[in-house]
Amino acid sequence: MVQKAERVAAPQITGRNPNGRQGRPVGNVTRGTTNPNRMRRLDRWLTGPQAWRLRSAPNPLVVDLGYGATPATAVELFERLSAIRPDVQVCGIEIEPERVRAALPLQRPGLSFQVGGFEIPVPGRPVLVRAFNVLRQYEEADVAGIWRLVQDRLSGDGLFIDGTCDEIGRRVTWVALDAHRPLSLSFSVRFGSFAMPSEIAERLPKALIHRNVPGEPVHALMQAMDRAWLESAPLASFGNRQRWQSMCRLLRDAGWPVQDGPARWRLGELTVDWEAVAPRS
């Protein structure tokens, strides 16, 4: 049963964790809506510019946190990461026991499922934690505490990805955090799925979705993307891929701290430093 989201307190370390404590997992049961291939754009980023984290990890442990009503995306994550690190260990964690029971028949060497929440009850420290369309269902005031709870479980080069996407993965956004701070905000879109880039604002992560208002940095970015998109209209006859790359180049030239380059832009991606979009208060 899906509950109305309750406030989540960071000190609420419950469930079985590496210290052996027991209790209720941290978090609430969410809707669990998912679809096959919904996370492909994020997974492409994890196996691209972030692949070094997995390749260099002494313990290639990855957590798919809140994988949903069906384990399809967790299975896909395992298969995609296995191409980068054959000995990867992917653990799908869900707070709803019935979802875990339904996933158990799909377990195999390197892929497991268990009950848990934001405390991440696995032995060792994960190098990657993916939580997609999970924090969106919580209160904005809870985000910082949840981030900290997960960050405290990461390995030294670990990365926590808090993201949101539409039902079939055409519009995707995510915040990447290391063990100490948020690092970046990324967008990935399917060309032809939007008229203006700012339409992706409806899929911003919870930390930013209510901040797309005048005076907030993320709103300024949305406006700058639209202006650059319109300025790049003469390239539309060559296709949206060329137009998107022009938009990204114009943003970078205007001083936005764009982290990536044409090899990622042509995929419909754009990543900027977190400091450029962080909420003002």
Q: Which amino acid is at 31?
A: R
Tokens of residue 236, six digits: 């539309």
Residue with tokens 């377990």: 107
The yes-or-no verdict on residue 233 having pLDDT over 90 is yes
Q: What pLDDT, in 10s, does the model give residues 14-44?
A: 333 443 345 689 998 877 677 889 999 999 9
Q: Is the dihedral of CA 148, 154, 155, 156 positive or negative?
A: negative
Helix 217-231 vs helix 240-253: angle between axes, to the nearest 10 degrees?
130
d(CA 183, CA 228): 24
Cα–Cα nearest to 70, from 24, 104, 25: 104
pLDDT of residue 8: 56
Average pLDDT of the residues of the chain: 92
pLDDT of residue 265: 98
The yes-or-no verdict on residue 53 having pLDDT over 80 is yes
Q: What pLDDT, in 10s, does the model give residues 124-151?
A: 999 999 999 999 889 999 999 999 999 9
